[in-house]
Chains A and B, each alone.
Chain A
Amino acid sequence: MSTHILGIRHHGPGSARNVKNFLEEIKPDIVLVEGPPEADEILQWAVHNELKPPVAILCYQPDDPKQACFYPFAEFSPEWQAILYAKQHNIHVRFMDLPIANQFALEKENKKQVDENADSDSVEPKKSTDTNEAHTDVITDKEENIVQSIKRNPIAYLADAAGYDDAEKWWEHMFEYRNNNEQVFDAVAEAMQTLRSHLPQEDNKMEVLREAHMRKTIRQAEKEMFQNIAVICGAWHAPVLKEMPKQKEDNDLLKGLPKEKVACTWVPWTYGRLGSWSGYGAGIHSPGWYEHTWQYANDDGTRWMAKVAALFRKNKMDTSVAHVIESVRLADSLAALRNLSKAGLEELNEATLSVLCNGENILLNLVHDELMVSNKIGEVPTDIPKPPLQVDIEKLQKRLRLPATADFKDYTLDLRKEGDLERSVFLHRLKLLNIGWGANTNVSGKGTFKEQWRLQWDPNFSIEIIEKGAWGNTVEEAAAQFVIHYAKENNSLQEVCILLQQSIPAELSRAIDSLISQVNNLAAASADTIQLMEVIPDLVSVSRYGNVRKTDAALVTGIIDSMITRICVSLPAACVGIDEDAAQHLVNLLFKMNDSVSVLQQDDISKLWQETLLVIAKNNNAAPAVAGYATRLLSDGKILTGDDLVQAFYYSMSVANAPGMAAAWLEGFLKGSGTLLLLDEGLWNVVNNWVAYLREEEFIQVLPLLRRTFARYSNSERKKLGEKVVSGKSSSAGIVVSSTLAVERAKQGIPVMMQLFGYGANNK
């Protein structure tokens, strides 16, 4: 009986190759892989021909899906190769890490401890957050974590000794790029052994437990009379799995660990996620390059440079074969200069930069995005047991032909088309569920029947999907439930209105009903008129939007009616006794409200609104800016015209009024209407006559006020106003069409025209 410990680096293509060769050589009868034992059952899918890496095993707590972690695999991951080997040769394969069930539970305890120890500055909380990080992140990247953070130093010692300044690079050249791999695992184990024995041990409880469990699994396999056991684990663990302590010690350690319920499934993964910059802190920088080295182990850089050249040509940059030759040569001599046996990615990149890009870094970004990372997304067979919500989403994606891609893709949806409408509804629902797959951008050009979406899939959505699965088994159901729940929690009128606005394009009729009744209740209870006014424009746009969407706008219109009624009742009171800023805000709201009311085109509401405006305009105590603007609106709506308007204007601008008040009133009255004043003869006359009517001393008194108002208009407007004043009324042509037709002469042409139209002949 023999046990082989294969220390590897996660996602190391060289390690993967070594593992594969080694397994083929020793022909084990069981393979043990570092990974969550809970996922043993779903390992059968690994050989399914629809399962294409990069994929990840997702472990989560069904009752708390936020508590989740991923074990990603690429084709060049040693673990993946080991699993494939076992499955293809029909031998047993098992995961041997500490069960996720325990890890989650331990983490929770740690967290609790951290919270408890929050005040006391002991060392303990620090440590537990460390382990937290290591475990809530991608578990398989733990080794990278170890290599990069805590145990970065140990490897750096070795690299230092070998004369490298970068530990990562040393490892790559030492273990990943080499082709001759005799005894490489012994060497790794020995190196790690030395490190572990010479460096002060970090007392990491989780690590101790994990290693104990790994040993336990190995013992179990031995007990089951397997003869030839292959163990694939992170290099760091190799030595402690070789030298087994007493069984009892491990068992004691593992006894009575807390547990959580855990479920596992396969999810598609992306290369971008394997990369380190996408939020996971640890990972590999260049999955595309690793895949290349996995596929073409013997490539001396020629094939890679050919790929680069092809990419450059595709992007319309002249790249000759001579370029490729020169860059390979440069990469080789760089490697020689740096004392490396083979040009690595850095050398190749530098050669590309110098030979192909003329030293310009920008072009190298292309290589980075397309080749080094190469945004590849994995696939998972449809019949894998998945949460129902996930199944529903995939079904919809397929039916609506919206594939999940790692790169972003743009869609312009025409909502008048049945299929596009469905797509839009689907995307809106996902958005409500906080699954940010699609981002809605504005379409150029007006019209509410078009939507522009940008879709980019992120493997992390899997967690969201599982989490939201609690709300329902289909997208529609889950979205509706979630919205209702969320609205109940955020019981503010504004929030609910926003939700309502979002729910309408998502066509969640049940949720909409509930939201509407909630809005109704909230509006009834709300004493804040301003708040009501703020939501009206949105609601009105919702009701207008409803027409394109074929949703029942009547529902919304109903509550709009009741809300406007409420506003009209309380608005006059709200205009009294407010300061200037609030008045300005109110003026803006009046403007929007007025717009909304005219959009609604309902006579009774319009009438109500005008009456309210009239009350405000006539109210001496109302904030002058608001009163002024209300007067203007009334004048615009032809409610207040002629003498009434003149009277109102003169009254408000009387000298008896405090200058500040009068100025504010005028400002409100003329809000934003420099051009209007030019074109609207009625308005012009009112203002012009008033100025003319003032006596000189009065005029001097109000001059500052007028200046203040008119100073807001643009230069050209003021200039035109001035011209209009100088030239008097006559120049203002206005809308009157002057009839300068010579009637007699025109009449002469009529017979000819008749003839042309073909009437003349008949008449004659």
Chain B
Amino acid sequence: MSATALRQHAEQLFAEELEELSKQDELKKPANWKLSPQSVVKYLVGGKLKNGFEVSPKYIGNKRLMEIAVATLTTDRALLLYGLPGTAKSWVSEHLSAAISGNSAMIVQGTAGTGEEAIRYGWNYARLLAEGPSEKALVETPVMRAMKEGTIVRIEELTRIGADVQDSLITILSEKTLPIPELNTEVQAVKGFNVIATANNRDKGVNDLSSALKRRFNTVILPVPDSMEEEIDIVKRRVESFEKVMELPAEPPALQEIRRIVTIFRELRNGVTLDGKTKLKVPSGTLSTAEAISVVNNGLSMAAYFGDGQLKANDLAAGIIGAVVKDPVQDKIVWQEYLETVVKPREDWKDVYRACRELL
């Protein structure tokens, strides 16, 4: 079954690491946690275990942020991961729940249409009509299941959910209980239950959290990568893992290509060239690391199926333009300007320039 799954859950993909960590774990575990907080942090940031087993880093960046996140979950406060799109919020949340509960599948995707029944509980109407309100007619949500089982539940894009629906979380988070007035009963959360929500601060038309709800969350802002090297590292690791999953025949991407993409993204994101000398216009897109990763992946597929198997500027050009030019009028000007003033004069970037030029 899972061998054919397009994308495996974190706890499946890194089953070996989790297993090894749990074997080596001698520290105290909070109730219903699969690992001790220290081991969870180690799982996220990577490192060597006592027996020499190498744990790969999942989050590349400030270890302290991961410590705050894990420490938050040990208290009964919920965790809100906040940041620009593509700063590994969902990634971190998935791995946190995989490491803590061994299950990252308890997930509610927040959208403008997410209703209360997706967070609290719904009804099986056929049964409801036939039998009247009963436990059996109840449709459990991931939140309810997580409360019963004492695991982590993830809520993606919390701020996209309508404010009234968001607030239904307040009771769950403060009283740790989910009342079901129709049955005159309630579901009390078992120890180990907690919520990890993600939200991004770039979107328009989001619903800010009410201060009552905000107060139930500890916030960790995930930043864009600090340095060029860090970003290249992230892109490289993620692309390599993608190759494994997709079984791409293309040769592993040359570091140089990744470096160029990361350079383009960083320069446009920061509005200044790396040497700090030239000011640039900033396009409307976020140009996150995640997008850089997908551009490289995209390029790899292009190279594998349409090119000669080697990642070249031609294979990347379409992806880069797609990521940069989100607004067909303004961003195009920004991109053209960048192309003519920054890319063109760079001696060893001629191929990029030509490839991008052709597509415009």
What residues make up the interface of A, taking CB atoms closer than 8 Å to B? 318, 320, 322-323, 326, 329-330, 333-334, 336-339, 346, 350-351, 353-355, 357-361
Contact = CB atoms under 8 A, between A and B. Distances in A.
Contacts of B71: 330, 333-334, 336-337
Contacts of A334: 67-68, 71
Contacts of B221: 359-361
B202 to A, nearest CB: 15
Nearest to B76: A329
B75 A330 contact: yes
Given A337-B38, A337-B67, A329 B75 contact: yes
A56 to B, nearest CB: 35
| A contact patch SS | helix
B67 A354 contact: no
Nearest to B69: A354
Nearest to B27: A339
Contact of B72 (A322, A354, A358): A354
* Chain B interface size, under 10 / 10 to 19 / 20 to 34 / 35 or more: 20 to 34
B215 A322 contact: yes
The 6 closest A-B pairs by CB, nearest first: A359-B219, A359-B221, A334-B71, A333-B71, A354-B218, A358-B219
Contacts of B70: 337
Contacts of A323: 215
Given A326-B77, A330-B77, A354-B68, A337 B41 contact: yes
B23 interface: no
A356 to B, nearest CB: 10
B139 interface: no
16 contacts: A322-B215, A329-B77, A330-B71, A330-B72, A330-B77, A333-B74, A337-B37, A337-B41, A337-B74, A338-B67, A346-B64, A350-B67, A355-B77, A357-B219, A359-B220, A359-B221
A682 to B, nearest CB: 49
Nearest to B36: A337
A318 B211 contact: yes
Contacts of A355: 77, 218-219
Contacts of A333: 37, 71-72, 74-75
B43 to A, nearest CB: 13
Contacts of A330: 68, 71-72, 75, 77, 218
Interface string B62-90: 00100110111011010010100000000
A226 B184 CA distance: 83
Highest count of chain A CB atoms <10 Å: which of B37, B64, B74, B218: B218
Given A333-B72, A336-B71, A337-B41, 5 more contacts: A322-B215, A333-B74, A350-B64, A350-B68, A361-B221
Contacts of A326: 75, 77, 218
Nearest to A357: B219
A360 B215 CA distance: 15
A318 B38 CA distance: 33
Interface in B13-45: 37-38, 41
A346 to B, nearest CB: 8
B214 interface: yes
A65 B211 CA distance: 58
Nearest to A328: B75
Interface of B: 37-38, 41, 64, 67-68, 70-72, 74-75, 77, 80, 82, 211, 214-215, 218-221
A330 B77 CA distance: 9
Given A337-B38, A337-B67, A354 B220 contact: yes
B213 to A, nearest CB: 12
A337 B41 CA distance: 9
Which of A322, A337, A338 has the most C-beta atoms of chain B within 10 angstroms of its own C-beta? A337
Contacts of A338: 67
Nearest to B77: A326
Nearest to A334: B71
A1 B57 CA distance: 60
A353 B37 CA distance: 20
A572 B351 CA distance: 64
A462 to B, nearest CB: 39
A334 B77 CA distance: 13
Residue in B68, B70, B211, B219 whose Cβ sees the most chain A Cβ within 10 Å: B68
Nearest to A350: B68
Nearest to A323: B215
Nearest to A360: B221
Contacts of B218: 326, 330, 354-355
Contacts of A351: 68
B299 to A, nearest CB: 34
Nearest to B70: A337
A383 B37 CA distance: 60
A351 B68 CA distance: 8
A463 to B, nearest CB: 36
A361 B211 CA distance: 19
Contacts of A336: 37, 71, 74
A358 B201 CA distance: 12
A346 B220 CA distance: 15
A172 B218 CA distance: 27
A316 to B, nearest CB: 14
A161 B219 CA distance: 34
A351 B72 CA distance: 9
A708 B214 CA distance: 66
B67 A359 contact: no
A341 to B, nearest CB: 15
A321 B219 CA distance: 18
B174 to A, nearest CB: 10
Contacts of A337: 37-38, 41, 67, 70-71, 74
Nearest to A320: B215
